[in-house]
Amino acid sequence: MRPIFKLSMFCLAVGIGTGCKPEEIIITEDIPTAGVRFVHAVPDTGAMDFRPVDIVENTHFYSVGFRGTALLYYKNARAGARNFRLFMASTDQAVATTVVADVNVTLEAGKNYTFIAWGYARPGSSPGMQLTVLNDDPADPGSQVALRLVNAAAGLGALDGRQYPDGGTAPGAATWAAVPELSASAYVQSPTGAIRYNVTPAGGGTELFADALALAGTAATVDLDATPGTTVAGSAVSGFIFPRSVAGSAAANFTTPGVVFVWDRRPPRPPGV
């Protein structure tokens, strides 16, 4: 029995030694990131692909159509000096690998950016197509919300925008006066609540579309973060004004100008929620 006892003690010692070994710690890289999204506002061309070409990461936006709303959210991109390119969406490799636009940008960690293609793609049309980077970086509105108007309506010139509480009347004075074609206004702060946008040609005139209700959002709960919107303090919201489609082009068919609302800033989670 003694040899068996010695063997048992040896196995016990090995087990104790293995069990007491400290757990191996694997240190992963803490990558600083920014938020990026892509908006297709070119009214005379088909769907496009937007993607990084400097490093491999999940910041691709594939087959985005004119005035497309399915992919209007931010994706995390590594911060720093970056290179993004725009291609036509196609199964033909000769088309899909032809660069439509190229942009170098320095992304700052913790900030959000909109890459927007706007203007006309057809040669000789004005303004010509360009890929622009918008800084979606409003000051913290605190107990209010931050609002912006983006004039992506090629061919419609400068625009006046008015924001007002739902159920009220559009004011006479513009909230954003004469916002130039292919540009974004400054942010303004407004009390929380349901808010409508009224948009006309600069200096007045017929509204481009029926006054539109902005993205409202939902408050945070114990289980869920808030969905940013005009009813949620600390949010920032942009109204992108799009032109009508060019008849006979490959762009998705829209016969009138319109607006698409997106959030630019997510409010902080309230304490205790």
Measured CA distances, 20 to 8, 24, 26 (Å): 18, 12, 18
Token duo for residue 170: 């559009």
Would you state the pLDDT for residue 10?
47
pLDDT of 5 higher than 50: no
Among 7-16, 190-199, 244-253, which stretch is predicted with the lowest mean pLDDT?
A: 7-16
Q: What is the mean pLDDT of residues 9-24?
A: 53
Token duo for residue 73: 């959210």
More confident residue, 27 or 176: 176
Cis amide prior to 127 (ω within 30 degrees): yes
Would you state the pLDDT for residue 154?
97
CA–CA–CA angle 87, 90, 92 (5° rounding): 110
Question: Phi and psi at residue 214, in whole multiples of 5°?
Answer: -70, 165
Would you state the pLDDT for residue 1?
47
Burial class (CB in 10 A: 0-12, 13-18, 19+), 123: exposed
Would you state the pLDDT for residue 223?
78
For the chain, what are the domain ranges? 30-137, 138-273
Would you state the pLDDT for residue 267?
87
Length reported for the chain: 273
Q: What is the mean pLDDT of the chain?
A: 91
Let me know: does 209 contact 198? Beta carbons within 8 Å.
no
Burial class (CB in 10 A: 0-12, 13-18, 19+), 262: buried
pLDDT of 30 higher than 90: no
Q: What is the mean pLDDT of residues 153-171?
A: 97
Residue % of the chain over a pLDDT of 90: 80
- What pLDDT band is residue 26 in, cutting at 50, 70 and 90? low
- What pLDDT band is residue 220 in, cutting at 50, 70 and 90? confident
According to DSSP, residue 217 is labeled -
Question: Phi and psi at residue 18, in whole multiples of 5°?
Answer: -70, -40
pLDDT of 13 higher than 60: no
More confident residue, 24 or 220: 220
Would you state the pLDDT for residue 109?
97
Evaluate the CA torsion angle 248, 252, 255, 256 in order and state its sign.
negative
Let me know: does 114 contact 105? Beta carbons within 8 Å.
no
Burial class (CB in 10 A: 0-12, 13-18, 19+), 246: buried
Closest CA to 88 of 117, 127, 113: 117
According to DSSP, residue 172 is labeled S
CATH topology classification for 30-137: Immunoglobulin-like (2.60.40)
Residue % of the chain over a pLDDT of 70: 88
Instruction: State pTM to two decimals.
Output: 0.87
pLDDT of 188 higher than 50: yes
Q: What is the mean pLDDT of residues 91-98?
A: 91
